[in-house]
Amino acid sequence: MKHKPKLGQNFLVDADAARRIAEALGDITTETVLEIGPGHGAITGLLAERAGHLICVELDRALAAELRFRFRNATNVQILEADILTVDLSALRPENGKLRVIGNLPYYITSDILLHLCRHASAIDTAVVMMQREVADRVAASPGSRDYGVLSVSVQRHADVSSMLTLPPSAFSPPPDVFSTVLHLRMRDRSSELGVLNDAAFTRLLRAAFAQKRKTLGNNLRSAGYSPDRIRAACEAAGVTSDLRAEALSVSQFAALYHALGASPS
């Protein structure tokens, strides 16, 4: 199989894994499924047999054409040639439900795609997504663990994350240099629990808090320009102490800190 490394093309050749991934979406007979990066269709074929409506977004023109030809008689399958990051996912949401998202993600933009899914979380029920194992570990990490950071909080703010399956490089052609993990994201609306948050400002706070992992939360926030008095008052209001490291804070503690601190240092 020809492939374009720049587009993260490592095609799944393990048929059993493809089946397990497709089945992880549950009963999709009446659902709208969005597949990100279908490639040669290792998972697509299995989805097309079962999905009420299947929308595939593939950036590679030749692959999109190949899939259009393969599924030319399947009335439930739609192939879009596009960069997934430019697709308005909320516009694809079915009238009476939410999207089921699936994909063996192109690894060069995994984090961007995850954050794109999070921005459209209210349009998505579940996402089953494969990525480099190290990135999956960061997404799924719990507070207090070494891997817990900006990506963990950003995704867990919108989803309950669980790890489903890890595959060796030999499951792909060509084999990547890394192991891959499939994550199951159950999107949930935590806006009433966490309060309405300005995404960009919240992310700025996370970046500041995690800027230097060995420094305390207080020192990192001071380096970002917050005054010691403001940090002390905000930590007190959020029920945390400034001598903790950011990795100790839960998603809801970050949300509380965000509210108490205000959006920007100045």
Q: Cβ closer to ligand SAM: 99 or 235?
A: 99
Site for ligand SAM in 125-184 (CB under 6 A): none
Q: Cβ closer to ligand SAM: 105 or 249?
A: 105
Q: How far is the CB of 27 from ligand SAM (least distance, A)?
A: 21
Q: Cβ closer to ligand SAM: 130 or 257?
A: 130
Binding mask 89-128 toward ligand SAM (x if CB under 6 A, else -) reads ---------------x-x--x-------------------
Question: Alpha-carbon distance 232 to 36, whole Å?
Answer: 44
Question: Alpha-carbon distance 240 to 262, whole Å?
Answer: 16
Binding mask 50-89 toward ligand SAM (x if CB under 6 A, else -) reads -------xxxx--x-------------------xxx----
How many residues make contact with ligand SAM (CB under 6 A)?
24
Q: How far is the CB of 42 from ligand SAM (least distance, A)?
A: 4
Binding mask 17-46 toward ligand SAM (x if CB under 6 A, else -) reads -------------------xxxxx-xx---
Q: How far is the CB of 94 from ligand SAM (least distance, A)?
A: 21
Q: Contact 172/11 with Cβ under 8 angstroms?
A: yes
Q: How far is the CB of 74 from ligand SAM (least distance, A)?
A: 17
Angle at 105 between CA 101 and CA 110, to 5 degrees: 105
* Position closest to ligand SAM via CB: 37
Q: How far is the CB of 205 from ligand SAM (least distance, A)?
A: 28
Residue 7 in contact with ligand SAM, rule: CB under 6 A: yes
- Site of interaction with ligand SAM (CB under 6 A): 7-12, 36-40, 42-43, 57-60, 63, 83-85, 104, 106, 109
